[in-house]
Amino acid sequence: MDGRPTEPICVAVAGLPGSGKSTVARLLAQELGALWLRSDALRKELFPQPSYTSEESRATYRELLRRADAALARGQSVVLDATFRRRALRQAAREQAQRRGARWLLVWVTAPEEVVQARLARRRSDLSDADYAVYLQLRSEVEPPGDQEPHVVVDNRGTRRALEAQVRGWVQQLRADP
């Protein structure tokens, strides 16, 4: 046995652009043996020249959830990598996971603004087109999870090694508490 959960898990990795959510999502997918579904990749697949309209966002999230549902129906765990800035989007994903009998987890990735700004300035050849202006816009619109929405916070201000240790520690807890 490799220590992976036997029931499927649906993990939503959420946070603002530049917080490092895709790094966290990739690490979680590797640790859990889960399918990594990235909204940035889906958006570009659906809209090769995206304009980032509300309709594009709705279509992207619909497809993200459709693919997650198909994987969960097969008993496969999934890691959803998207800003999930609205509670309603997180609620829809959670309800879908529960309908499929999957465990639901929300991971909220944070980083200080100066770290985010530096990361976004260095970003090259990334699927995400988000820059600092997008970060500022989304920051003003985000509905962070509160006490009514169980979640874990991953502080992504440090080194890659520190982040990996944080994610591994959290996954060990997850495996210990079915």
What domains can you pick out in the chain, each with its CATH number? Answer: 21-176 (3.40.50.300)
Kindly report, residue by residue over 142-165, the tens digit of the pLDDT. Answer: 899 988 888 988 888 888 898 888
* Top-confidence residue, 68 or 122: 68
Does 118 score more than 90 pLDDT?
no
Out of 12-21, 34-43, 99-108, 160-169, pick the least confident: 160-169
Does 1 score more than 60 pLDDT?
no
Kindly report, residue by residue over 65-105, the tens digit of the pLDDT. Answer: 999 999 999 999 999 999 999 999 999 999 999 999 999 99
For the chain, percent helix, then strand, then coil, each to nearest 5? 50, 15, 35
In the chain, what percentage of residues exceed pLDDT 70? 92
CB 8 within 8 A of CB 103: yes
Which two structure tokens, joined as six digits, stand for 95?
């309800």
Which two structure tokens, joined as six digits, stand for 76?
């496969």
How far is 65 from 89, CA to CA, in rounded Å? Answer: 10
Residue 130 φ/ψ, nearest 5 degrees: -65, 130
For residue 32, give Cα distances in angstroms to 71, 76, 79, 129. Answer: 14, 10, 9, 28
How far is 175 from 120, CA to CA, in rounded Å? Answer: 33
**What pLDDT, on a 0 to 100 scale, did the predictor assign at position 26?**
94
Position 125 confidence tier, pLDDT thresholds 50, 70, 90: low
Residue 55: which residues within 8 A CB-CB, separation 6 or more?
Answer: none
Using alpha carbons only, how large is the chain's radius of gyration in Å? 16
How far is 40 from 21, CA to CA, in rounded Å? Answer: 12
pTM surpassing 0.85?
A: yes
Burial class (CB in 10 A: 0-12, 13-18, 19+), 45: exposed
